[in-house]
Every structure is written in structure tokens, then in C-alpha cells.
Amino acid sequence: MTSSRLPSPPVADRRPKHAMHHGIELTDSYAWLKADNWQEVMRAPDKLPSDIRAVLEAENAYAAAAMADTEALQATLFAEMKARIKEDDSTVPSRDGAWSYFMSYVQGGEYPRFCRKSSTKKSAKDEVLIDGNALGAGLSYFSLGAASHSPDHKLVAYATDDKGSEIYTIRVRDLATGKDLADEIGETNGNLEWAADSKTFLYTRLDDNHRPFAVYLHRLGTPAADDALVYREIDPGFFVGIGKTLSGRFLVVSSHDHETSEAYLIEAATPDQVPRLVAARETGHEYSVDHHGDGLVILTNNDGAEDFKIVTTPIEAPEPEHWTVIEPHIPGRLILSHTAYKHHLVRLEREGGLPRIVIRRWSDGAEHPIAFDEEAYSLGTSEGYEHDTTNLRFTYSSLATPAEVYDYDMESRERVLRKRQEVPSGHNPQDYVT
């Protein structure tokens, strides 16, 4: 397209705004384009001031005109990209007792579906619990966030955003009827965890600046306005989250910035108890907590452990003065994460530029790494739902090998390929050298 065929580019009004900072005067002629009511706009886009909307619409129209002669090329590129993605795909089901849960996609669908199937009946059909395509039908924007089943497998709490603001509303679906309960909780980022009773869950709420700042407790059948405050972060630089140990015994409230963290424990069986602090925050100290038997298993960089170490401590004495090192700090070996199963401790680490998964048996301390043949690759672990298991699920990929999902028996060391990413347009790893 030649420039003569283009409309004139839009020009936003200059409305100088002056401000003094540290004795220096700054002038911003376009500060007015940040809506004063931006918090309201995040929740209701139609509240955007008309003069700002006019600028955005003019910019979009100009971009569409400038790119008009590439529409055929855009369609070609989009078709090529789609040809490399399997549309009717699904994740490998993850077992939790009698059920296995997974996400799936359908041909032509825009959004994921949260599903399950029987873990014991091979002929059982897949059951769609939350259908993102049905929920998002007719909407200009839709996102399905967290979807979490209750411990008794009767309910699913799920979070959705239909405005693009990343402000999620949590709802709860009764799996016996397929209908949502009356419970509806707004102003969240979708982060939630069920308590042991399957009637209570904790969730993270956002403040006016879109920061996850507090954890609340919701009991099914009660108004969201009556939800109890569990933890509130007063430092505006810290962000709050809620998780659960793999054992299911503890809910973990975490607060962190980019270099400092702090964690609190709540017994999942008594979620209304006061959270118990593990280690008070100290600038530069990062740690994460899991649970095993009578103790806590903590990944930490305190006392100069720049590349992290793993310690244990009694549940009743979580403070750092009681910590005992079980995996020492080794400079140059970065421990990325740890997962405490009933019989094994798994750590994901990186050394010499390569990731590595190491399995340690709790009973005798014996450990072994999982070996791989390629010279460069990427690894990840998925802890799943079950604590009392010898099965570890991990993902593997390289520059030549598409993503693969394996189940690994931590005792027998048998490795089973559960899924290899399918490239519909074709891919032969032997055509490439890493």
C-alpha cells in the first residue's frame, strides 16, 4: 500500500501537565490519556472517557488501513501457525483417587474445558465439568482461570474473566446437577485452594491497584460480603498467594516481592485458625514450604545459600533456628524447586546450564538423577494431586524434540512416555541436530 492511499495518521491533543520532582519540572503532554477512573474502567470498560476512546479507535482504524494490503499474508501465516498446533488436544489426566482430571480442547474451540474420567474404569467416558467454550460463547473476551475440584470430588470452584481486566469472578459448580451454586465472589485473581471439608475455600482478593493483597475464607452458602479476612499484606510492594502442601495437610499463605518471601501455615482441617508464621521476612531471604511426616521441608537461600539448600524442621518449631540441612548449598548448582512425596523428595535443579531431576528416598537418603541423552534440553516437574505415590510426572523438550510427558516410577526407575506433542504439519526430530 502506498502512503498516498493512507488516511492521515491520528494526532492526539497535547494537554501539558506539569509536575515537580526533586526540584525538576516535568511536562507530560499526554498524561490525560491515562484515565483518572482507570480502576473503574478495568471493571466496566464502557466507563472509559469518550475522548480517550476516540483516540484509541482512531489509532486502531489507522493501523487497520496501514495493514490492509497484508490481510492475505496474515491469513496465510495464521493458517501455517494453526497447522503446527493440534486443536483437539488434551493434557495427560492426573490421578486423584477414583478420578483423573485433565484439560481438553475441541476442534474450532477457543477455550479449554476442565474434565475428568474414572481412574479405575477403562471404558468410562470423559466428563466435561467446566466448558470454557460454552461459558465464553457470544462474549468479546473470555478467560477461564483456575478450576479446582473439592477434596470430595463433588464440586468444582472455577474463575472467569469476561472483560480482559484480569479480575476474576469465582463460582462453584455442583457436579451432581451440573449447575452453579449461588456463591459468587468477585475482585479476585482466580487463586484459590479448598479446605479439607469441601465446604470452605481460601482465595486471593485484589486491591484497587490490581495487587493481590489479601486472603479471604469463603464458606459455601454464605454471602461473599461475610467472608473472613485470613491475611492482609500491608506492604504495597508484596504480593499474596494461597497454596497447599502436596500432603493436603496445610494451606500455605505466601507473601513475596522479587527477592523476599514469607509464608504462613493453616491446617486444612481447621481453615479458620490463625495462620502460623514459618519465618519472618528478611530482605533477600526467599523460601518455599512443603510438608512431610512430622516436619516441614523448606527450600531456602538463607545464611548465604545463594543457589539454595533444602532444610527440615519440626512442624511445631518452624523458625530458622530449628532448621536442619538435608541438602546443602553447592555454589553453581541452583535448586529450582522441591516436592515432598510420602516416600520420596524430588528436586529440580540446574548445573552447568542444564536442568536435572534428582530423586531422594526418605527412608535411607539414597538418591539418583533421571538421565537424558541429548546435550541440551528443558525439564519440568508436575507434582499432581497424590502424595502417597511412587509416580513422578515430568515434561521434557529440546530444540529438536517436541514437548513430551513422562510418568516415572521413583522406585523401579521405569519411564513411560504418556504424550508427545503432535505437530499436524509434520516434524521429524532426526532432521535436526542440537
CB-based burial label for 199 (10 Å; 0-12, 13-18, 19+) = middle
d(CA 265, CA 252): 5
- In the chain (434 residues long), the average pLDDT of successive 10-residue segments reads 70 96 96 95 93 96 94 95 89 96 94 96 91 96 96 98 95 98 97 98 96 98 97 97 98 97 98 97 98 98 97 97 98 98 98 95 97 91 96 95 96 97 87 85
Q: pTM of the full predicted structure?
A: 0.90
CA 118 → CA 131, 147, 155, 205, 419, distances in Å? 18, 18, 16, 34, 19
384: Cβ contacts below 8 Å, ≥ 6 apart: 94, 95, 96, 391, 393
- Cβ-in-10-Å burial (0-12, 13-18, 19+) of 323 comes to buried
Task: State the sign of the Cα–Cα–Cα–Cα dihedral 273, 278, 284, 290.
Answer: negative
User: Grid coordinates standing for 171?
Assistant: 463460582
Q: Over the stretch 411-425, which tens digit does the pLDDT of each residue have?
A: 999 999 999 998 888
Q: Residue 36 corresponds to which amino acid?
A: D
Write phi, then psi, for 10 (nearest 5 degrees): -65, 145
Q: What is the pLDDT of residues 233-287, one digit of tens each?
A: 999 999 999 999 999 999 999 999 999 999 999 999 999 999 999 999 999 999 9
180 to 150, 174, 226, 309: CA distances (angstroms): 14, 6, 20, 44
Give me the pLDDT at residue 4, please.
55
Cell numbers of 136, please? 465464553
Task: Give the dihedral sign, CA 41/47/52/55.
Answer: positive
d(CA 194, CA 146): 12
Amino acid 118: pLDDT? 96
